[in-house]
Amino acid sequence: QVQLVESGGGLVQPGGSLRLSCAASGIMFSIYTMGWYRQAPGKQRELVAAITSGGNTNYADSVKGRFTLSRDNAKMTVYLQMNSLKPEDTAVYYCNAAFQSVDYWGQGTQVTVSS
């Protein structure tokens, strides 16, 4: 079956960096738009970044210039490089795969930015 498995979360100080990974299986990965969403306590889930099958990227205004989204179709993996992290980046980060009307979600990985 379809699986999206996130990894790379953890605790970092403000200004630090993390790289999240999402490994997919059970889908034709190359045709899917891949994205990262996050949900902080008391807030709605929001789109952080997305990358299309053609490699076009979109970022939330709050992370532009700090986060970089990339994909490796051979490894069926999408990466989110997060630099210059801020306390407001603290959230559970979820991987998403979308094609037409179909959406799949990972289990989430916790990112905590605190001194």
**What is the spatial distance between Cα 109 and Cα 113, in angstroms, rounded to a whole number?**
13
Task: State residue 39's pLDDT score.
Answer: 98
* 3 state SS for 22-74: EEEECCCHHHCEEEEEEECCCCCCEEEEEECCCCCEEECCCCCCCEEEEEECC
Task: State residue 47's pLDDT score.
Answer: 98
With a cut of 50, list the residues of the chain below it in pLDDT: none
Q: What is the tens place of the pLDDT at every residue in 62-89?
A: 999 999 999 999 999 999 999 999 999 9
Task: State residue 59's pLDDT score.
Answer: 98
